[in-house]
Amino acid sequence: MKSIDELKNEKGELDMNAVKQIIPYDYPFLMIDKVISLDKTKITAIKNVSSNDEFLKGHFAGFPIMPGALMVEGMGQAATLLIRYNLDDHHKKDVLAFRIKEAKFNAPAFGGDQLEYECVLLGQDDRGALVQAKAKKEGNVIAEAGLMLAVVDRKEFRSKHSPVYK
């Protein structure tokens, strides 16, 4: 398995295919199109909201906006990438939402918008991490939250909670 640094292109970015090799998400639930910067303390990732995104078809009927919960999900996926970048054996771990604190939504996102997820690592140990996350549109913060994420052993967690992995 390649390291995360080995998946970066010459600009230091991760495209969608690289992201899918790091976190266990795929369309239609992958909320990151690419990562434009990633270091040990900060990540900046991009989500291009498309008018064809499934979630826009019913939220809201006649006024399609990206659900706030999916903006938080996108911030969480970016935070997951940041946390995994700090784990030597990230492929043996799952990173899970543990707590979402003080989520705020300042403006909507529509089809055609480009969101920039910016996450800063505030602290991390072998059990989890604390991240401050923002979603920006045209440089303006439209959503933000404090995220606490748990880091667990993948095999142990999955075998405990799913009969498929026993």
pTM, two decimals, is 0.96
Architecture of domain 4-165: Roll (3.10)
Whole-number pLDDT of residue 163: 84
Q: How far apart are CA 85 and CA 114, in angstroms?
A: 24
Provide the annotated active-site residues. Answer: 59
Query: Where are the chain's structural domains?
Result: 4-165
Predicted pLDDT at 2: 86
What is the per-residue pLDDT for 60?
Answer: 92
The pLDDT value given to residue 118: 98
Question: Which pLDDT tens digit goes with each residue over 75-115?
Answer: 999 999 999 999 999 999 999 999 999 999 999 999 999 99
Question: What percentage of residues in the chain have a pLDDT greater than 70?
Answer: 99
- Give the per-residue pLDDT at 27: 87
Arithmetic mean of pLDDT over the chain: 96
Indicate whether 51 pLDDT > 90: yes
